[in-house]
Amino acid sequence: MQQGDDFPVAIIGAGFAGIGAAIQLINAGIDSFTIFERADEIGGTWRDNTYPGCACDVPSHVYSLSFEQNPNWSRRYAPSQEIQEYLLSVVDKWKLREHMRLNTEIVEARFDEEFGTWTLTTDGGDTFTARMVISGVGGLVDPSYPDIEGMGDFEGDVMHTARWNHEVDLGGKRVAVIGTGASAVQVVPTVASMVAMLSVFQRTPAWVVPKLDRLYPRWLRRFLGRFPFFLRASRLVKYWLSELRGPIVFLDSKILANIGTRVSMWNLRQQVRDPELQKKLTPDFQFGCKRVLVSDDYWATFERENVDLVTDPIKGIERTGIRTWDGALHEADVIVLATGFKLGLATAPFPVIGLGGRTLDDAWEHGAVAYKGMTVAGFPNWFIMMGPNTGPGHTSVLVYTEAQISHALQAIKKILAEKLKYIDVRQEVQDRYNDGIQKRMKRMVWSGCKSWYLAEDGTNHSLYPGFAAEYVLRSRTLRPRDYEITRF
């Protein structure tokens, strides 16, 4: 067991957020920090999601760090492996491995009011103290496994898209995919041509719009590398295009929803000729209400002879396949669970114990809330990345993450420069902010249907109800008056 005032700053998680925060700490001249990562490699989402077809669904020029732009993306939407390679190269360039403790999971964080420090306990039982903590544990990290009767009886292979088993050869096999969300639209068209038979189990169809993916020719990549101005311009144009489309996916407006519906229906008709199939694939809820998916070939896959869309609900899993309520047994050699993730930002990632021994789970008893999604009253010097109400439905998460890094960094610089004990967001400031967020939610489209965006009671603590640009303007600058300041 170790003890001591080990680091001024601890970062938990080595995904985009943790890596981005580390770089900005170095840029600010703060190089005494440690990154704790529970896995054996950096990368987060892009380390874990290696299923066939996995790629980002926001153009890579936007879905990358603004302070580490990459002219070499091979295509508009880079595949997972390329994004992971980008992150690995960024880590090497900034020599972040010197700061990294891999295979180290933080299992508890406890604030010590007397010393103004957080004590972090690892899964190995070690403890470290840090004055400030950046929590970059991600929002979509732990796979969600469906509770289907008989799963244990299945004799073939079962794998979740986020834990792909590359040892399993799908060639010539009968494969069943459960789920039709963001991972399914990528994995289904990719594996369809490899397998003998593909059965896709759909509970709810999704609105799908064209992705317009394309390869970037070598001359363009060279050009962008030589003239970074154009790389920045490309990022800016793609970012604003995604922002301008935003209201179609977040505002509760029949007129805007109609535009989205028409584009999606056109996409469906282009890809599927069979009217019966079209009907099965057409959602019955307002466009934008659930996550809108992007794909150029998902729907067309169902026209293939070897692909079957199953819309009867699943009754159970048996030794040789999946039984639906109509009595049919859909035989399979492999079951792929494209069933998404436990929503990480809805609860504390591990026991986080703040002022007066109050836990973050207690503070979030009625839903996860934080000031600007980052700081929670009673949990001083604790900065959350990708926290409550900071998810976008329309553009890159990283736009939000970078604003959060900037906010946290200003707080950290202030605490260090003024030798403060801690800063703690004022409860009334946090409440006012969240009342405003929930009021605005009423004008958003998301409350109209059941989705992973919503908590059990129907409130939305995951998405930001507006433009990313607005969030950035509101959040990137620290306003000291919003915080209670405690000196030694």
Ligand X SMILES: Cc1cc2nc3c(=O)[nH]c(=O)nc-3n(C[C@H](O)[C@H](O)[C@H](O)COP(=O)(O)OP(=O)(O)OC[C@H]3O[C@@H](n4cnc5c(N)ncnc54)[C@H](O)[C@@H]3O)c2cc1C
Binding site for ligand X (CB under 6 A): 12-18, 36-39, 44-45, 49, 54, 56-58, 63, 105-106, 136-138, 140-141, 183, 349-350, 385-386, 396-397
List the beta bridge partners of residue 371. Answer: 375
**Looking at beta carbons only, is 3 or 103 nearer to ligand X?**
103
How far apart, in whole angstroms, are the C-alpha atoms of residue 387 and residue 138? 8
**Residue 226 C-alpha from the chain's centroid:** 32
**What Å distances lie between residue 142 and 36, 85, 168, 345, 453, CA to CA?**
17, 22, 22, 11, 16
- Residue 24 beta carbon to ligand X: minimum distance, rounded to whole angstroms: 13
Minimal distance, residue 485 CB to ligand X, in Å: 28
Nearest-CA neighbor of 427 among 480, 371, 372? 371
Q: Smallest distance from the beta carbon of 90 to ligand X, in angstroms? A: 12
**Cβ density class 273-287: b for 16+ within 10 Å, e for less:** eeeebbeebebebbb
Minimum CB separation of residue 189 from ligand X in Å reads 15
**Between residues 58 and 369, which has the closer beta carbon with respect to ligand X?**
58
Q: Which of residues 136 and 378 has its CB atom nearest to ligand X in the complex?
A: 136
Q: State the helix-helix crossing angle for 397-417 and 16-27, rounded to 10 degrees.
A: 40
State in angstroms the smallest separation of the CB of 101 from ligand X. 9
Q: Who contacts 265 (Cβ-Cβ below 8 Å, separation ≥6)? A: 282
Which residue lies nearer to ligand X by CB, 317 or 345?
345
Least Å distance between CB 224 and ligand X?
20
- Residues 387, 384: Cα–Cα separation, whole Å: 5
- Contact call for residues 216 and 75 (beta carbons, < 8 A): yes
Q: Are 139 and 27 in contact (CB under 8 A)?
A: no
Cβ atoms of 386 and 136 closer than 8 Å = yes
Helix, strand or coil, per DSSP, at residue 101: strand
Q: Which is nearer to ligand X, 87 or 257 (CB)?
A: 87
Residue closer to ligand X, measured from CB, 37 or 424: 37
Shortest Å distance, C-beta 404 to ligand X? 9
Q: Is the dihedral of CA 388, 393, 399, 403 positive or negative?
A: negative
- Cβ 249 to ligand X, closest distance in Å? 13
Closest CA to 162 of 367, 411, 336: 336
List the one residue out of 66, 45, 72 whose CA is nearest residue 56.
Answer: 45
| Alpha carbons 205 and 285: distance in angstroms, whole number | 9
Q: How far is the CB of 269 from ligand X (least distance, A)?
A: 26
Nearer to ligand X, 183 or 324 (CB): 183
Q: Which is nearer to ligand X, 281 or 386 (CB)?
A: 386
Which phi and psi angles does 223 have, rounded to 5°?
-60, -45
Q: Between residues 64 and 264, which has the closer beta carbon with respect to ligand X? A: 64
Question: Which residue, 272 or 468, is less far from ligand X as judged by CB?
Answer: 468
Q: How far is the CB of 121 from ligand X (least distance, A)?
A: 10
Pairing verdict, β 321-324 and 314-318:
antiparallel
